[in-house]
Amino acid sequence: MSTPRPISRVLQAHTQQEGGGFVVRRPFPAPGLAQIDPFLLLDEMGPVEYGPGEAVGAPDHPHRGFETVTYALEGDWEHEDSAGHRGHLGPGDVQWMTAGAGVVHSELPARRIREEGGRVHGFQIWVNLPRQDKMMAPRYQEIPSSLLPERASDDGLARVRLLAGEALGGKAVIETRTPVLLHDWTLLPGARVEVPVPPEFQVFAYVFGGSVLAGPEAREVRNGQAALFGPGDAVTLSVLKEAGGPARLLLLGGVPLREPVARYGPFVMNSSEEIHQAIVDFQAGRLGAIER
Ligand code: FE
């Protein structure tokens, strides 16, 4: 018998400007909720329709002490960094970047979208690193859409793309430093799934399309809301048969690190001394620069 996790809290995402001025929907961090350990941030970028010359991104900026996960749904991004790495993200692609000791990073809509305009939609998620990994060498995992495992329920009403973790008999190919799950679910009207989640995980869902009923009480969680789950070993998700369209949601979970978090912009360490060191190292050029 599984124990479905109850919803402990529902959060409304706020909108905010980031990077060079692009608008995100952000359920957290927010006043009163600095993190959902081990997750530090969730940003939904767009969906936005840019005209020619309008598209903006996040030009050169540093990171240290955590991981950034970029998941593209629509549009194209160009990523480059001080480790000499250049990547291109199209619809369905994932970049899981472990900043570790530090990189300077640039994330921009592709030149074609910057020049001609176009539609952009995606996510950026920050995953904290445990103390012993904060200064590890930077690492990249780029998974093109074609290699991202996708599974469907027997009735075909629920589909999942597995960025991290397991569901419906599938297993993600990305390696995480600590146990993490990150699923992209599409639930058609009438869908019902029970997703096993290890009891030691902290779990939440972020709805970015339609409306989902979650938890044993089948509480409605709407587009732009995040639901935090309480203790248990499964998450139940369903969509009313009468719903006007599918629900889209990210399901995220991980083992909480339970370590002190010292956070200053793009640096996330365990103490203010380590933050100070990160700033000194960045200003001295020790996080490198992007060669162009
Ligand atoms: Fe970045």
Expressed in angstroms and rounded, the spacing between residue 63 Cα and the centre of ligand 1 is 7
pLDDT, tens digit, for every residue of 90-115?
Answer: 999 999 999 999 999 999 999 999 99
How confident is the model at residue 17, as a pLDDT? 87
Residue 158 has a CB neighbour count (10 Å cut-off) of: 25
pTM score > 0.95 for this model?
A: yes
Residues of the chain short of pLDDT 70, as ranges, are none
Expressed in angstroms and rounded, the spacing between residue 160 Cα and the centre of ligand 1 is 26
Expressed in angstroms and rounded, the spacing between residue 65 Cα and the centre of ligand 1 is 12
How confident is the model at residue 18, as a pLDDT? 83
DSSP secondary structure code for residue 131 in this structure: G
Expressed in angstroms and rounded, the spacing between residue 61 Cα and the centre of ligand 1 is 6
In a domain? residue 27: yes
Residues ≥6 apart with Cβ < 8 Å to 284: none
Expressed in angstroms and rounded, the spacing between residue 6 Cα and the centre of ligand 1 is 34
Which structure tokens are listed for 180? 């993490």
Find where tokens 């002490």 sit.
65
DSSP string, 30-63: BTTBS-BTTEEEEEEEEEEEEPTTT---EEEEEE
In a domain? residue 83: yes
Q: For residues 88 and 80, is the Cβ–Cβ distance under 8 A?
A: no
Expressed in angstroms and rounded, the spacing between residue 173 Cα and the centre of ligand 1 is 22
In a domain? residue 261: no
Expressed in angstroms and rounded, the spacing between residue 107 Cα and the centre of ligand 1 is 6
In a domain? residue 130: yes
In a domain? residue 245: yes
In a domain? residue 38: yes
Name the domain count of the chain.
Answer: 1
How confident is the model at residue 188, as a pLDDT? 98
Domain residues for the domain of 14 are 7-254
In a domain? residue 249: yes
CATH number of 60's domain: 2.60.120.10
In a domain? residue 284: no
Expressed in angstroms and rounded, the spacing between residue 89 Cα and the centre of ligand 1 is 14
Expressed in angstroms and rounded, the spacing between residue 139 Cα and the centre of ligand 1 is 13
